[in-house]
Amino acid sequence: MPVTDDAVATARRWVEGSERLVVLTGAGISTDSGIPDFRGPQGVWTKNPQAEKASNIRYYVDDPEVRKTAWRMRLDSPFLRAEPNVGHTVLAEVDRKRRLHALITQNVDGLHIEAGVDPEKVIEVHGNVREFVCLDCGDRGPLRDALDRVRAGELDPPCRVCGGILKTATISFGQSLREEDIAAAQRAAVECDVLLAVGTTLGVYPVAGCVPLAKQTGARIVIINAEPTEMDDLADLVLRGQIKELLPAVLAGVTNS
């Protein structure tokens, strides 16, 4: 069903009147930045099953060849070339207006922070690809430093502190999410008066659980996505269409103030 002007105007009014706006984003907000999804017809894992194996912590730790493959893929990763699109920049403008309470994201691309959202307000539940982390001692640093070592011939660069295994600071399959990030996301959901879910099917937990949490505490739920989501029945308003068109329109009451 086409999105009506009245529906967009209603969402805009709710956002404009919000005192504690929380935004939850998924892969859909970054596709316009050239970052493909993972499981779709043209997804990274659909086209290259080995890439999915590299995202499983057991294979990654046990098999040096899997790690070498992962580091080669990182050299040409679309994440490193991607730049914020209008969806990211309009949310950054909302934050500059001091109208963003928190931004929960399932994405690891770091584009919200690159666009200018205060890092203190961004909850990267699945980690990020901007940094490397040592699985043994926890040492961290810019991913580009590790990639420079790969380009120089270190096919599986070890940690320079302890000699342990390095990977991107993302949460792989088989790894536990950081409890402090989950707690922060749930706290934001409980505190908000409007929860705006953008570009996510809301099928991955525990992040998807933020929607019913917000609903239970009386927040209005607005979903913007190209396809149906698993939480559409909980939403006060569902806007189905292009994020690059709908999100700026919904946030216009804040960004133009």
Beta strand spans in the chain (E): 21-25, 100-105, 122-124, 127-134, 140-142, 166-170, 194-198, 220-225, 237-240
Q: Answer whether 41's CB lies under 8 Å from 60's CB.
A: no
pLDDT tens digits, residue range 133-160?
A: 999 999 999 999 999 999 999 999 999 9
Q: Are residues 257 and 151 in the same domain?
A: no
Residue 46 has pLDDT above 70, yes or no: no
- Supply the CATH number for residue 235's domain: 3.40.50.1220
- Boundary residue ending a domain (170, 204, 226): 170
Instruction: Determine the structural domain holding residue 139 and report its residue range.
Output: 36-81+127-170
In three-state secondary structure terms, 227 is coil
Q: What is the pLDDT of residue 163?
A: 97
Residue 127 has pLDDT above 80, yes or no: yes
Residue 235 has pLDDT above 90, yes or no: yes
Catalytic residues: 126
List the one residue out of 202, 224, 199 whose CA is nearest residue 212.
202
Q: Are residues 99 and 225 in the same domain?
A: yes
In three-state secondary structure terms, 109 is coil
228 preceded by cis ω (within 30°)?
Answer: no
Q: Are residues 41 and 12 in the same domain?
A: no
In the DSSP assignment, the letter for residue 208 is G
Domain count, the chain: 2
In the DSSP assignment, the letter for residue 121 is G
Average pLDDT in the 65-86 region? 89
Q: Note the pTM of the prediction, 2 decimals.
A: 0.89
Q: Are residues 202 and 154 in the same domain?
A: no
Q: pLDDT averaged over the chain?
A: 91
Q: Are residues 53 and 134 in the same domain?
A: yes
- Supply the CATH number for residue 155's domain: 3.30.1600.10
Q: Are residues 141 and 197 in the same domain?
A: no
Amino acid, res. 36: P
